[in-house]
Amino acid sequence: MRPLSQDPKLTAMIDGKTQIYGILGRPVAHSLSPAMHNAAFRALKFNAVYVAFPVDELDKAVAGIRGLGIRGGSITIPFKEEIIPLLDELDPQAARVGAVNTVVNRDSRLIGYNTDWLGARTALQQKTEIADRHFLIMGAGGASRAIVFALREERGEVTVTDLDQPRALTLARDFGVEAIPLKALRECPAQILINATPVGMAPAVEDTPVPLDLVERFSLVMDIVYRPLHTRLLKEAKARGCQTIDGLQMLIHQATAQFELFTGLAAPAEIMAQAAYEAVRGEA
């Protein structure tokens, strides 16, 4: 991919009035958010640019948003919970989720939002009813919190598990759901599996979050990992006759909601989706 500074489609519109947006995380080089948001800016002729900011010290990065007048940011692993005390205000839904994936800078006042839950809900509703279905969530981090919130809002039944059992228990307590240890997976009667961990992400593409002999018991398997797009978990699920949802679905839907918070404009959803899928075309 051509470096941002050499992309004529972007440099042609960068000037002294260009608004800056970005994604804060570690790592972020793999992120598709720049591809999606910059495609949307170009389509709407909106004078802005979106870049990736690899962050080691979150407090300094947040101070940089204020000091440089960066208009907004996406927040990703591992900062979705850590950023909360550094913000001036939380949207009520983000407060209920307990994680932030979107920050909007309004006159140096930083407001935290969560659009992950909207992305998860939309992705799932395109494949299944949520009410009265039983979901097993692998992982108890910021993305998991958003997914559990979405499922509970739609009256889904939820079980969570994580290598960090105390963290899973905290999430379960916060949302009134069940937490189980990994060793109890075989006893869980859930119908739908969601991987909300980094397990299976490149370069460890042969890893799966659950033993493969358990996969066929689920009618639907969703993986939020999108590099590779077709994770081993999804390949094994499809081979066993399960419906699947790839990681770009949640990502795209959360990004369109995020774009609207950033700009106040209706997101060009099809263009953002096309940019995301083009960016991973040809990857395993």
Report the CATH number that the domain containing residue 29 is assigned in CATH.
3.40.50.10860
- Residue 12 sits in the same domain as residue 94: yes
Residues 174, 42: Cα–Cα separation, whole Å: 41
Q: How far apart are the first and last CA of the chain?
A: 17
Coil vs helix vs strand at 98: coil
Predicted model pTM: 0.90
Burial level of 78, CB count in 10 A (0-12/13-18/19+)? middle
Number of residues that this document lists for the chain? 284
Whether 13 shows a pLDDT value over 90: the answer reads no
pLDDT in tens, 129-188: 999 999 999 999 999 999 999 999 999 999 999 999 999 999 999 999 999 999 999 999
Cite the beta strand spans of 76-227 per DSSP E.
89-90, 102-106, 109-113, 134-138, 157-161, 178-179, 192-195, 220-223
Query: What is the domain range of residue 180?
Result: 118-245
45 is catalytic: no
Structure tokens at 44: 């709407």
- Residue 50 sits in the same domain as residue 141: no
- Residue 107 sits in the same domain as residue 138: no
The domain total for the chain is: 2
Residue tagged active-site, from 80, 127, 235, 238: 80
Coil vs helix vs strand at 237: helix
- Residue 93 sits in the same domain as residue 122: no
* CATH number of the domain that residue 175 is part of: 3.40.50.720
> In 3D, which of 64, 101, 63, 62 has the Cα closest to residue 81?
101
pLDDT in tens, 41-84: 999 999 999 999 999 999 999 999 999 999 999 999 899 999 99
- Residue 96 sits in the same domain as residue 173: no
246-to-20, 58, 148, 180, 255 alpha-carbon distances in Å: 29, 29, 18, 25, 15
pLDDT in tens, 240-253: 999 999 999 999 99
- Residue 199 sits in the same domain as residue 268: no
pLDDT at residue 9, rounded to an integer: 57
Coil vs helix vs strand at 169: helix
- Residue 31 sits in the same domain as residue 60: yes
Cα 222 off chain centre by: 13
